Amino acid sequence: MHRLLEWCGDEMALNYQGKTLRLDCLVRRKDTVAWWVLDYRSKAQPQRDPVRLQQLATYREALLALYPEAGVRTAFLTGAGGWWWCEET
């Protein structure tokens, strides 16, 4: 495992408000103890899609409900190698 990561998992199922959410990738950093939700997208600019932005916001809410003391960050990763960090709301 990478020296900055405390934990990582792919295709994680998370139950939240009666629904099962499927997170593409979930990692926790050692240095900041922050969780990162990474969402893989083939679309070139997923950050412009309001549905996808809401999806990441829901993932963030679900993790904050489980780990209220931890920071939670979200980002899109694209097939072309791009990434977009999503602002916390």
Query: Model's pTM, two decimal places?
Result: 0.89
pLDDT value for 44: 82
Asked whether residue 1 carries a pLDDT value surpassing 60, the answer given is no
Beta strands 72-78; 83-86: pairing state: antiparallel
Is 59 exposed, middle or buried (CB count within 10 Å of its CB: 0-12, 13-18, 19+)?
A: buried
**Model confidence over 59-85: pLDDT tens digits?**
999 999 999 998 999 999 998 888 998
- Kindly compute the dihedral angle of the four CA atoms of residues 2, 89, 18, 20, in this order, to the nearest 10 degrees: -30
**Model confidence over 11-68: pLDDT tens digits?**
999 999 999 999 999 999 999 889 999 999 998 889 999 999 999 999 999 999 999 9
